[in-house]
Amino acid sequence: MLKTTGATFLAIATSFFILHFSPPPKSYYHSLFISSSLSDNASISHHLRTLTRRPHVAGSQANAEAASYVLSTLSACNIKAHIVSYDVLLTYPDSRSLTLTPSPSEPPITFDLKQEIYEGDPYADVADEVLPTNHAYAKSGSVVGPVVFVNYGRVEDYGTLKEMGVNVTGTVALARYGEIFRGDIVMNAFEAGAIGALVYTDRKDYGGEGGDAKWFPDDKWMPPSGVQVGTVYNGSGDPTTPGWASSEGCERVSVEEVESSGDVPLIPSMPISGADGETILRSIGGQIAKDNWQGSKDAPTYRVGPGPGVVNLEYNGKQVIATIQNVMGVIEGVEEPDRFVILGNHRDAWTFGAVDPNSGTAALLEVAQRLQKLQRSGWKPRRTIILCNWDAEEYGLTGSTEWVEENRELLASRAVAYLNVDCAVSGAGFHASGTPQLDDLLKLAAQQVQDPDNSSRTIYEQWIQSTESSLIGRLGGAGSDYAAFLQHIGVPAADMRFGAGYPVYHSMYDDYTWIENFGDPMFHRNVAVASVWGLVALRLADEEFLPFNYHSYALELQKRAEDLENEMSDKGITFSPLFKSIEELSKAARKINYQKKEIKEAKGWTSMWRNDHVKLRELNDRLMMAERAFTDCDGLLRRPWYKHLIYAPSRHNDYGSTSFPGIDDAIENAKNLNTAESWHVVQHEVWRVARAVKHASLVLDGKLT
């Protein structure tokens, strides 16, 4: 008779329990998360309507009330939630005026600088709570000068004016929004010698074409009186605490030191409407602007000036140390609680903020509610999930930056990835950007979620059919809250949305009515964003092996390096160190993918008796930490806060996304100076990037030299 030992009996009993009573696999919960039974477009609509009932700029009581709503909603989902506050420097308009004297023989025109309430406006009762149109952190002062039209205010636009013999010194620059960040528009005007800057919304870009064009509320376009407000601060975080958190009793630099930093404009500026911009354009004489500088077909002929129109621009702002509130929700992981998957969206808005940012806030709350339903079904995340609702993003990514600076060391050692949604929905068409090791994960999630505008296909199928350029963008620009995570401390990151730009951006017409009529009438796109966002987060939080593929990273770097080498073919710059490092990264990526496969194949039903979790943890740590190796403690030249040597903003466009930003900056400088020393700096920057890429390959490889 065969004897059954205690150990054998235990093994049989355990196997029987696993086969018959084990919880569903994580993939079951992931499918459940994106099912129609859990999604709720009516709930999203309710969240959005509640959050956008009043204007809620950072530092206001209305925004504090919105924070309380987010906090209570997260708490109702049985998510541990709390508020993290910071005291930061914010600015608000105190007084402003703008007068145009079209010519010496004509009387002056004083602009009222107001966005008009339309007939039947459901928000007319709170319209007076909208801040007067202004640029945050604009220089206070009064200037009088002839007007020069500078197109979009780019460096190349000033180059064109120089070729035309137009002197910008002592003038007020009139630029139209688009192409580059407004702070760079003002900075470029200052560097060209202008004494002030006006930025308007051109009909060609924001108002619809043709004389019979309609605008909001009859169509999606910006009304003639609409104004795009926003910050002109070129830094990140509280300007008075550069590089450290604005916690209670902290060190602060003076306003004079802030001005000397180069991150705030040194000339007054003001945003104005398309109607006011067109009035000023009619007063400008001189040479006719180039064809691609002209406006819509029924617009006046654009001339560059200067004058004869003269403007008197006065602006006075007040600076306030105000309290901002980040709302944080935490779902603790059961197996790896010290590994963080972070989802973030900001809450503050210049006006009502239906698209920017509260379509994203509504999606964040939808994700939270679905995660609660998963928990009720028995799901528990392997790793910790953190839901973040940032404050004061509009002023300069302030809430997220302060939090990252305060928690820098912990995040640098424990953050798996940061997933950002800002303007979740402004129209049709899915868009995503991210660091390359997340490419496969983003594509897979898009393949699993139905296209909200065509139920016969997935988001991925719509995505590849509608995209002419590369499918997934890169996060080089500093346009949203991923900046501190990726560009400052090197955390893998992604950003996603439906729709591209939208005409009423940062105006008082970005309200619930606009998104209900034009952005997302049935709120199905918002449901879809929440599905992709949450699904990516779940896979990062639950999968045993982090779903990172650094082979994509190596391919991306190889392509960009080849482009640069071709551009510099006649400058004597060698890129061989960089290509060698990229090849090492590619080898390390293939090796770690093979190791991952090896461990997976070794894991069978007997793996419970094996002690392979240490190998798994060590491999995941290498995947997680490799992105950190692309950072350099010294940061970019003259921009030390930006530590990432692969992805950071363009020096002359904060929105611009570039690879190898230090090399790009050095090339731009060398082209201007054309000295041996300046080209030597280019070569040095190539070496810096090559060293960073090699460090990343060593981290992936996991062995000391």
Place of tokens 């201007």: 672
Task: Reduce the DSSP state of residue 24 to 3 states and report it.
Answer: coil
Helix, strand, coil distribution of the chain in percent, nearest 5: 45, 20, 40
Report the sign of the C-alpha dihedral through residues 137, 221, 122, 511, in that order. negative
Residue 596's Cβ-side half-sphere holds a number of Cα atoms within 13 Å equal to: 21
Place of tokens 């509260």: 358
Residue 496's Cβ-side half-sphere holds a number of Cα atoms within 13 Å equal to: 31
* C-alpha radius of gyration, the chain, whole number: 27
Q: How many CB atoms lie within 10 A of CB 1?
A: 3
Burial (Cβ within 10 Å: 0-12, 13-18, ≥19) of residue 8: exposed
**CB contact set of 136 (below 8 Å; sequence gap of 6+):** 90, 91, 229, 230, 231, 232, 233, 394, 395, 396
Report the sign of the C-alpha dihedral through residues 399, 442, 622, 385, in that order. positive
Distance from C-alpha of 110 to C-alpha of 124, rounded to nearest angstrom: 25
Catalytic, 618? Answer no
Q: How many CB atoms lie within 10 A of CB 597?
A: 11
Distance from C-alpha of 367 to C-alpha of 384, rounded to nearest angstrom: 15
Which of 179, 278, 336, 393 is an active site residue? 393
Largest CA distance in the chain: 119
Helix (H) or strand (E) holding 553: helix 550-567
Under a CB-based contact definition with an 8 Å cutoff, are residues 420 and 483 in contact?
A: no
Under a CB-based contact definition with an 8 Å cutoff, are residues 494 and 432 in contact?
A: yes
Distance from C-alpha of 345 to C-alpha of 70, rounded to nearest angstrom: 11
Distance from C-alpha of 359 to C-alpha of 533, rounded to nearest angstrom: 13
Distance from C-alpha of 691 to C-alpha of 698, rounded to nearest angstrom: 11
Q: Which of 391, 445, 515 is nearest to 41 (CA)?
A: 515
Dihedral (Cα; 330, 334, 339, 341), 10-degree rounding: -50
- Give the pairing of strands 310-331 and 383-390: antiparallel
Burial (Cβ within 10 Å: 0-12, 13-18, ≥19) of residue 171: buried
**CB contact set of 40 (below 8 Å; sequence gap of 6+):** 366, 369, 527
Q: What are phi and psi of 214, to 5 degrees?
A: -105, 160
Q: Which residue pairs from 35-41 have beta carbons closer than 8 angstroms and sit at least 24 positions apart in sequence? A: 38/370, 38/373, 38/374, 39/366, 39/370, 39/527, 39/530, 39/531, 40/366, 40/369, 40/527, 41/522, 41/523, 41/524, 41/526, 41/527
Distance from C-alpha of 232 to C-alpha of 258, rounded to nearest angstrom: 13
Distance from C-alpha of 229 to C-alpha of 428, rounded to nearest angstrom: 24
Burial 373-403 (b: 16+ CB within 10 A, else e): bbbeeebbbbbbbbbbbbbbbbbbbbbbbbb
The token pair that represents 639 in the structure block = 């921009």
Q: How far apart are the first and last CA of the chain?
A: 58
Catalytic residues: 393
